[in-house]
Structure 1
Amino acid sequence: MSGLKVCALISGGKDSCFSMMECVMAGHQIVALANLKPPHQVQSSLHIDAVCSGAILSDYQRIRVENVCSRLNLISLSFLWRRDQSELLREMISFQMNCVVIKVATLGLDQKHLGQSLAQLQDHLMAMETKFGINVCGEGGEYETFTLDCPLFKKSISIDESKVIVHSADAFAPVAFLHLKSLSLKDKIEQANVTSATQMEMLTTNMEIRDYLRHPRDLVSHCHDLRPCFENCENHLSAKLPDDVSSFTLGKSVSYLPSSSCVSFQDGSTGWFAIGNLPIQSRNEGENGAQDDPAEAMEQVFRQLKECLDSHGWSFSDLVSVTLLVSDMAQYAVINQRYVKNFGINPPIRVCVQTHQDSAVILHALGFHLREDKHFALETTRRTMHVQSISHWAPANIGPYSQYVEVDNVIHIAGQIGLIPGCMELIPGGCGPEAKLSFRHVHRILEAHKLGFQAIAQVSQSVCGKKKYSYGDWDDPG
């Protein structure tokens, strides 16, 4: 995914400017800037494919941008999302960004730091992170910056006149800002025969700077051995099962995978339920029926799913995970188009796998219906992560599903494949790199929940293809 025409949300700070640089390095083109005070005359004839923002940890900021992009059918680019802040700060400085602090509002920073550059404050910010736990990129509002120069700028900005204003002279965490009274543009000084026109191109090929798109093997270099991931996964088999379902337990909850005809099952003691093997063909339908056509099959699946949910007093919002088995992944777009119509915000997680089957689509669903008991409901609040922006963190949702859904103290994580997050393309090298990158995605989703691999209770793995793979294939760094 490259060559997008991007409108950059720009505040003038380090994050929004570095986000633009990331877009250019990914092969996109910045064609417009947007801020809170646009000019009176706005060009409306520009073709825009995507919007980029400098969100690092703010779900509020990211979700607002994603919602607007969704309504306008635009792609949200958020290349700084959940980056390690110490690494990100070093990278900004290495990329020759000249950003000065214009506001301080935290323990360890005061008015004497106003006007200093990130390069000047880097060591101090790192020390304050160790001492007080501040966010070195200011994600907690610790400080704000103004970008005077970066490789994208044709000219640099000079502060000709400024004034320090103390808003709160608190002894521990004073709040002060730098009022910029007069600014001017300056021609850039060429250094070592390097002009500003070639500066960006040189930076994108600097081998000392991490380039996620040019060197995809670096993505999995730290995740070589997958065996511990599996050795820590425990499968707990339940002894009390209906005759026609298989089951595994995760803590207090029970999930069921129907094994034959359509089955709906509910564990009344917890609220978990399962529905599977949809669609069910009626006797008067032909041998192939609607199942040969993926669009008609999806319509039939969700019609029957709704009937089953309604008959038990359940709803689509109760669904936690959906497994879609498809006969031809080339029909994914058609299947996804029908799927998306049935879910709104915070949809269930999803696993989609191509298998050898007669039906175009087979659906299994796991859900949790909150009991009316108030105390029970408070303990089973549903939480989701639904990141739709393209970033370097983990693959964006390419379908209407969440990265994870947590309910009843159990986290369900969506199916992962070896996509390079920044370009949404499969990592080269086959099974080994794909498996390792998939597990890195899982690990980062767990990290967002302050968990690690040790929290995994079960892994479901699908290896597609005729070749028989072994752990040796997965551990092969090539």
Structure 2
Amino acid sequence: MHIVALLSGGKDSCYNLVHCAENGHVLVAAASLGPALGREEIDSYMYQTVGQDAIELVAQALGVPLYRRVIAGSALAQGSEYGSRKANVSQSSSSGIVGDETEDLYQLLLTVKDEHPEIEGVSVGAILSNYQRVRVEHVCRRLSLTVLCYLWQRDQRELLSEMICAGVDAVLIKVAGIGLLPKHLGMTLKEMEPTLQNLNDLYGSHICGEGGEYETLTLDCPVFKRRIQLHKTEVVIHSFSDIGPVAYLRILNGTLAEKDQGDMDTAIIVPSLLDPSSQMIVSASPAVDFPHPTILADYKEQNMPINQHHSIRSKQECWVSISNVQVEDVADLSIENECAGCWRITQSKLAEHFLDISHISHVNVYLSSMDHFPHLNAVMYKIFGTSPPTRACVGVDLLPPNRVRLDIIAFSQSNLQDRRALHVQSLSYWAPANIGPYSQSVTVRERMFVSGQIGLQPGSMTFPSPRSISLETALALQHTRKIASAMSEILGPSRLGRETVQRAILWLPDANDIGTVGAAWRLSTESYGLQPTGLIVGVKQLPRDALVEAQLLYSIGMESDDSDADENESLTQTRGKHRKERGTAWSTFWEDEYYQVGWEVLASGGTSCALVTFKRNPRNNSDSPRGFAVSSRSTGTSEKFL
């Protein structure tokens, strides 16, 4: 796609452009925000303002026009979210916050887009700053632009080394961290790498300066057509300190110089698609013995009731579950109107608990056909603003004429201060972007919900070729791990590394893949010392015709789980009266040292239908099943884990 660079002139914004080019994107313009004339450095929460006296040189070195705008606003909204979470807020200029410095970026990119209507994406050099990423994504969403953020969540020690090896020649132009002194100004990354690594070892300083320890000016990199030469600079001391003075470099004179062809022929290191754990899963999962239910051998054709459900509501402690939400009379309704009707019913049921859409943590969506997926998204865009819930969506045989069914889990307290969301809409090497109206993860108190993940390559949002069930399963599970880890970092040091898998559903359209997927799940969990408490569920179709989808719930130990049921399980069971139809059924059962699982599927001419599942702990003598039930056609019993 054609892109504009959000340019600070530093190493990160320039090196991200290197990866944009590596992924086939074409740079056509650069955009930069800076202080008003006569001011060299301001404390902006969003933008690097030092080095603006050389930003024209950087744009010229890139060979593209530069669009500039003065930062007129200030950091009015300093929270982790930006914009409204209220329903039906249009994604337009009115959904910003008047007077916030984020809106200066909106106006700048709006100007660039008017001048270059072919632009579809924005290059951003964010590595760890959720504050910056969230605001850039909010602006770009309103302008229908895709954010390209290939440095996101990269290991900083590894990343700095890659930059140097790739030929990024950047110098320090500001120091503001412990152990960094004015004498370091003007030194290159290569010269500073040992010092930066040492400061990280001693004090935990960010090697790439993500904590504001230092800022840089790029003099050359592989995408520069010419290199920058600095002829005259001046050191300015902003504030004195024996351990961490704040000082910056004023650029008084610089010019452009031609580059040798050899300077442009540099190999770019692209991160490996799989981390070591995932590589182990791909190579080892086919050899791992995993119980494979003999479905056909256990198949029994018999007359069984298939129940036309009613929606089921339940509440336990601070959680509300609303299951089997669907429109009763769908005659002559378009698919979008049917989706909207499901959400109106959900809102009505929530209101009975004095809740609204903003209290929803997670939603499961069941569609009769994945052709309805775009219509579902279109409706959800009109309902959810900033920080939407997590979501898993699968295709099943709903009882005609219904095409949509919802299950939701909501947090029942009006005070949502304990709620945090991770909604990354940028393309990166980290995990797939959630460009749709749902978050990768939502955490409320001790529960961390993760959206259903499929085995996409994050950088391109495509499946690996050739298709492979073991590879896509490893990728889907890797995505959930990375998302959980990133969410733990947002929650703070006291929560970092405390996330543990509490429940998992592995949605699978092909029963022949059960053995491979089950083995991959076991390897994934055992490598982290966890018990493989996952369930494989058969469905008709997954988004994008994925081979597997992983949906996980984590516990993060934010509170004692003593208030929950045994083994940290919360369970609600409800039953109702239902209309009966004729159908067929097959069932199976298997167990191992960790758990016992049984299920029954009811069918009436379709390829998938009602699924009832349960878990028993072999060491527990209780006869009552515990676990959950997922309805893919209809069911009379709802057993939900919360």
Q: What TM-score, normalized to structure 1?
A: 0.81
Letter aligned with residue 16 of structure 2: S
What is the aligned residue count? Answer: 418
Shift in alpha-carbon separation, 1:460–1:65, aligned structure 2, 3 A: same
Shift in alpha-carbon separation, 1:219–1:29, aligned structure 2, 3 A: farther
C-alpha displacement at 1:290, in angstroms? 5.5
Question: Are 1:45 and 2:109 an aligned pair?
Answer: no
2:267 pairs with one of 182, 200, 203: 203
C-alpha displacement at 1:453, in angstroms? 8.3
Letter aligned with residue 425 of structure 1: T
C-alpha displacement at 1:17, in angstroms? 0.2
Show structure 1 runs of 4+ deviating over 4 A.
Answer: 39-43, 215-219, 222-227, 450-454, 472-477
Q: Which residue of 2 aligns with 1:236?
A: none
Q: Which residue of 1 aligns with 2:313?
A: 264
Shift in alpha-carbon separation, 1:322–1:370, aligned structure 2, 3 A: same
Q: Output aligned runs, 1:13-162, within 5 Å.
A: 13-36=10-33, 38=67, 44-46=114-116, 47-162=118-233
Q: Which residue of 1 aligns with 2:423?
A: 386
Q: Output aligned runs, 1:223-234, within 5 Å.
A: 224=282
Q: Deviations over 1:280-301 (max 9, x none)?
A: 425xx6xxx368x532321221
Q: Which residue of 2 aligns with 1:305?
A: 346
Letter aligned with residue 357 of structure 2: F
Letter aligned with residue 277 of structure 1: N
The answer to whether the 8 Å contact 2:433/2:458 transfers is: yes
Q: Output aligned runs, 1:345-364, within 5 Å.
A: 345-358=386-399, 359-364=402-407
Cα distance between partner residues in 1 of 2:277 and 2:154: 13
Letter aligned with residue 303 of structure 1: R
Q: Deviations over 1:367-406 (max 9, x none)?
A: 11216xxxxx58x621111111111111111311111111
Between 1:459-468 and 1:91-100, the stretch displaced more is 459-468
Q: Which residue of 2 aligns with 1:412?
A: 449
Shift in alpha-carbon separation, 1:472–1:436, aligned structure 2, 3 A: closer
The answer to whether the 8 Å contact 2:222/2:263 transfers is: no
User: Which ranges of structure 2 fall in alignment gaps of 5 or more residues?
Assistant: 35-66, 70-107, 291-306, 490-495, 525-642
Q: Which residue of 2 aligns with 1:168?
A: 239
The answer to whether the 8 Å contact 1:433/1:474 transfers is: no
User: Which ranges of structure 1 fall in alignment gaps of 5 or more residues?
Assistant: 232-257, 372-376
The answer to whether the 8 Å contact 2:271/2:429 transfers is: no
Question: Are 1:366 and 2:409 an aligned pair?
Answer: yes
The answer to whether the 8 Å contact 1:262/1:280 transfers is: no
C-alpha displacement at 1:408, in angstroms? 3.0
Shift in alpha-carbon separation, 1:331–1:466, aligned structure 2, 3 A: farther
Q: Which residue of 2 aligns with 1:470?
A: 515
Cα distance between partner residues in 2 of 1:312 and 1:9: 45
Letter aligned with residue 427 of structure 2: I
Letter aligned with residue 500 of structure 2: A
DSSP-derived class of the 2:506 partner: coil
1:277 pairs with one of 324, 335, 338: 324
Cα distance between partner residues in 2 of 1:166 and 1:468: 64
Shift in alpha-carbon separation, 1:226–1:438, aligned structure 2, 3 A: farther
Cα distance between partner residues in 1 of 2:173 and 2:424: 31
DSSP-derived class of the 1:100 partner: strand
Cα distance between partner residues in 2 of 1:226 and 1:266: 39
The answer to whether the 8 Å contact 1:388/1:398 transfers is: yes
Q: Which residue of 2 aligns with 1:251?
A: none
Q: Which residue of 1 aligns with 2:612?
A: none
Letter aligned with residue 437 of structure 1: L
Cα distance between partner residues in 1 of 2:308 and 2:497: 32
C-alpha displacement at 1:150, in angstroms? 0.7
Percent identity between matched residues is: 35
DSSP-derived class of the 2:119 partner: coil
Cα distance between partner residues in 1 of 2:33 and 2:223: 21
Shift in alpha-carbon separation, 1:259–1:158, aligned structure 2, 3 A: farther
C-alpha displacement at 1:458, in angstroms? 0.8
Cα distance between partner residues in 1 of 2:276 and 2:370: 29
Q: Output aligned runs, 1:332-343, within 5 Å.
A: 332-343=373-384
Question: Are 1:9 and 2:6 an aligned pair?
Answer: yes
Q: Which residue of 2 aligns with 1:421?
A: 458
C-alpha displacement at 1:216, in angstroms? 6.9
Question: Are 1:445 and 2:483 an aligned pair?
Answer: yes
C-alpha displacement at 1:474, in angstroms? 5.2
Cα distance between partner residues in 1 of 2:428 and 2:394: 24
Shift in alpha-carbon separation, 1:421–1:474, aligned structure 2, 3 A: farther
DSSP-derived class of the 1:416 partner: strand
Cα distance between partner residues in 1 of 2:480 and 2:388: 18
Letter aligned with residue 472 of structure 2: E
Cα distance between partner residues in 1 of 2:422 and 2:178: 31
Letter aligned with residue 485 of structure 2: E
C-alpha displacement at 1:221, in angstroms? 2.1
Q: Which residue of 1 aligns with 2:368?
A: 327
Q: Which residue of 2 aligns with 1:252?
A: none
The answer to whether the 8 Å contact 2:363/2:407 transfers is: yes
Question: Are 1:459 and 2:459 an aligned pair?
Answer: no
C-alpha displacement at 1:459, in angstroms? 0.8
The answer to whether the 8 Å contact 2:366/2:404 transfers is: yes
Cα distance between partner residues in 2 of 1:222 and 1:104: 42
1:221 pairs with one of 266, 279, 294: 279
Shift in alpha-carbon separation, 1:399–1:180, aligned structure 2, 3 A: same
Q: Which residue of 2 aligns with 1:374?
A: none
DSSP-derived class of the 1:341 partner: helix
Q: Which residue of 1 aligns with 2:357?
A: 316
C-alpha displacement at 1:111, in angstroms? 1.6
